Structure 1
Amino acid sequence: MSGDSLPITAERFAKALADLSLSSLYLKVAELENSIAHLQKSNGELQEFVRQEEDKECYEAILENRDVIRRMEERIELVKREVTEVRGLPFKPRGEEKSAPVDAESRTNGATNGTAEMAGAAARNGTNASNGTTHGQQAGNAAEEEEGVFL
């Protein structure tokens, strides 16, 4: 990580969540989960390289990635807290929305899980509702996958 920029503090992140719509909160969780998955994959590849080459810089990158993953997981928890404790709504992560049908009354009360809103918002801003990436990011991710390293 660059010495010039620091990540936003957990307190400032939590405060900023109040201004986001429910669909934006779910998109943020999807984005964070996607980033975590890429960092975990990258760490797996880096660990293999470190075992073979005993590369100190790669080892330090693994440790840094672990810190970033921890911060991202903390942010997911902050989003969950915003949805459940502050807004008083159930938090429905991806995949759970199919297990329990949402009736018309809960839709009108705003107690949906944000999936439909997320898909609509994704269509409007060019993101993929399943993982929160934009089409450009998907193309970039494909190029990165070919190179095999996610830093």
Structure 2
Amino acid sequence: GIHLRPEGHGESQAVLMLWDYHKEPVPPIIPPPDDPDYPEVVLRGLTTVVPALQAYLNRMPKPMIDGGYYTKTKENRPLIGPLPVDGAYIISALSGYGLMAAPAAGELLASHIAGDALPDYAPAFLLSRYEDPAYQQMLENWGDVGQL
């Protein structure tokens, strides 16, 4: 989805705009390739959510592009829990929702580490789910874009 939020402190007029409109999985290239159309595409997309942004279409501010990749699993479900190596844990594949999902992901991982009772949904985020033949079959029929 598309995302917009203030960026910076105090009187900053900077705005962070994100839109992962390229849904196809790609192998990582470091550094990520520049997309010169990205700022305008995102701004145009945001005008459907925040119509007042249309005022900037004819006078685009100079963008500062700092990009990377969204890490996601094929089914777009995070990895949260213990790893096969004793004492190692993971929180990953938050699909660009890290700012929103981090508190809940951290709480779930803390429960794993502390040995506390886990919620019923905890197994859905384990790396070990990929060892389950039924889960593997589900993934075979999932589709190619990694969207829920």
TM-score, normalized by length of structure 2? 0.20
- The answer to which structure has the higher helix fraction is 1
- The answer to which structure has the higher strand fraction is 2
Higher-Rg structure is 2
Higher RCO (C-alpha 8 Å, min separation 6)? 1
TM-score, normalized by length of structure 1? 0.19
